[in-house]
Structure 1
């Protein structure tokens, strides 16, 4: 049976859950609109994730690309920026700066994690994955689907190896073969395949799916992929990173046995390889933990 919080996320991804409060547009410091969605009660003791839902071409931030209902889970604040529709897909018209400045502004208003999770379909997908490539230090995870263009080089931007460790999911309908614009070198489906080949060769922590008989539409499986990516990026990965920091600290204090125990605990957090994303994620962190385990093989000398 699907866990309650994942069920809520599944419902929210396709449409706002019934009864969710709809906020009016807010003007940011660049004079552009955004829509903000908060949990019904902000807990001052908690640190929240910022989830960004990026609209498609011709749209705006209202509903945050269907993610507004995620605030019901109680662990995130959701924002839907309204980007200039003539170029935001390629981070033009300062669209990337718009999100960076909005993130900085919201960090002053709320107690937020230092990284955000970004989702987009179609035009939103184009922005989302390029933002991850340009600002890997700001992105915890990314879910991008049915993009009309992908960062495969030249004027389309290129993949950034520094983003390889970020949990990332992508998909496209196999019948979504049209070009998004006359200048596009490929149709959507073909271009997604080209992009996947590049990130696979670069060792990205990703999963790609292609939906049979689906055109330019959000397939039902997109919600499951996004849920998995969000969980690994915002729950599992931070826990593993915290365990590694703890192990290093114990090792530095000369507590090698204790450090090894913490590493073993971190391994127990790794997901079962039930999806390509979870398999790549587990492989990636197993390698890191093996290196840390090797580093703490000899007890640090006590401080004199």
Structure 2
């Protein structure tokens, strides 16, 4: 194996370990009522156990730290790691500045008074990882399109893209982000079943795919700027619903509006660019 990739994997492991350690520290620090060390839980349980009790959660937490750091070390794309560090720092500061949640047993079961940001972060790793990977793809395209340090990038495919690879990237990114958000335990729904996942997946996937399609095919940056500003906020609102009224999170509607907005912006930018015949971006062959 290439030595640089081995070193990248080592750095990725450090990132994963740091994420696991800090997440455990946050859960312990606030004494989260949803943190139940020594108690095994099901795959879709609201509780988070120890590393040995709920390995499916903690492997995900490790992956959320590993993949962005590995991608940055291996390819020199900075967006995944910068996004991960910003996310972890934001979660830590929010958890420490928020009221400590308290759990009380009521007639209908456990009643929690207070925000449970730490456990929500641990259980939503797949949604954040999907967003960070799309950020890496967008950075790659922008750096190649505008020649910003593209000569320093490594272990990445060559451009221009074939039509088949273009559609593979666009559809895969849309599906991954849509599935990540769709699998979240949304307070707007009683339970997460296949219909709930599809309701969220489709508009989320369309908004993501439309943004990347505009960037890859024509080099349009206005849709990406809007997506980069709005999409993480939508995911954050779904993962960390506002306290004390969490029932207002509907990411499917927000992404539906976003898909319309990025499409309109793409058309407007395309019209403006059409007046400048010398500026026709895009990295798709043919």
TM-score of the superposed pair, with normalisation by structure 2? 0.30
**Could you say which structure has the greater relative contact order, defined with CA pairs below 8 angstroms and 6 or more residues apart?**
2
More helix by share: 2
More strand by share: 1
